[in-house]
Structure 1
Amino acid sequence: MKAMKVGTSGGGSSPTALPKLLLRRARRANSIRCSSSTSTISFDHVSFIKDIAATQPPQHLQCLLKILQAKGETIISPGARKGLIPLAVPLTENQSGAVTALLRWPTAPPGMEMPVVEVRKHGVWLLAKNVDQYIHRILVEEDANNTHGTSGQLYDASSEAGKKLYIKGDFAESRIANLDSYLLKKVGLFPDIIERKVKQHFEKDDHVSAMITGEFYTKKDHFPGFGRPFVFNAEVLLKFVVVFSE
């Protein structure tokens, strides 16, 4: 589980006041209903972020909503906050019931003004540091998995953001060994990929690389405000106790 730690704000709402403020204002937004038009839906979310979350909405928010809708997720009202933490601005819900949301914290770390998170039953999981990074990853994954000549539905849905963030075919042309390596080198750091790298090192009995990667995961500048890297690294260190005690 990724535990969030929220710092103090240099001005405006305090960390304890902001969640209450969002909840109070969100009650006025509960009447928002998502229409079949993505542009109308996007306007609802943009208005919520500006007027209720009191911050600047991400530039390519509408493109992300279109992509998530094309992936089969259901766009939900930003005022549909039942069961969510107060700082989450809901975007979509998938078939498992998990909600993709933006995180509006009182004092955001640089480059993580509104990270994309997945709110599950038992925690908040970081998907990407910002909207552009998440769109970029989705498009790369679609391109890399496009082995059957599919139409590139997600790339088409991304419109101008897709053309700005990723050139189709770049993954193949890069000749980088695998998708995870490409994402880490060309797109950014992602918690699930780093954790997968650690597990792969263990599978190869490369314990030194596993330990180094686990420590790298916890560097404070990588995922500030999230506790998951420290929990995962603690689990890695416990594995070493088991390995070296045998």
Structure 2
Amino acid sequence: MKCPRGQGYDSGNARCLSFEKDTNGFLSFVFLNFIINRCKNLICFQVCIFPDIIERKVKRHFEEGDHVSALIPGEFYTKKEHFPGFARPFVFNAEVLLRVGRNVEAKDAARGALKSPWWTLGCEYEDVANIAQWNDEQIEYIKERVTEEGRPEDLKKGKAPAQVALDEAAFLLDLASIEGTWDEYVERIAKCHEEAGLDDVAKFILYRD
């Protein structure tokens, strides 16, 4: 029986109208998702690159079973002009590579991440160190660098005092990120910036509501 639009005078027509409504709702949902995904791509490639959009794009490829396509944005994420100085893109790419069984490349990506500040990893240090197959030697090295003996050694090498102070602050930030002890390091980090002539930064670090 043909379903007349706008009429529901019997049970047959009622079922037909219900089907039509459900179908239209489903098509609207599909179309809306299509528009959202196109907008995300437009934002990512024409406006600005947002980490969460790239990561969701990779995850969607995995959900669709398209592992090859997942590798492309993962590698794109790590280009140095996108997020210079941040480790998170390399960590995420390492996880992607590990997921598709490219373990050697994943190890290299994880090691690249650990060459950036550890507080930019976006996850636990141990998780990345396991992929990189690193032991605790690097942590011990950094702990030695922030001792009283570490600074004179850098000065002997000809480093400027301001740079030595900033290097120490960077090491302290790394330690605070893996130990979860920011409050124990905050005053010392602020002092390092003060010694480097960055008084406003030091005040900002020490600021409390």
Q: TM-score, with normalisation over the residues of structure 2?
A: 0.30
* Structure showing the higher strand proportion among its residues: 1
Which is helix-richer, 1 or 2?
2
Question: What is the TM-score when the length of structure 1 is the normalising length?
Answer: 0.26
Q: Which has the higher contact order (CA 8 A, sep 6+)?
A: 1
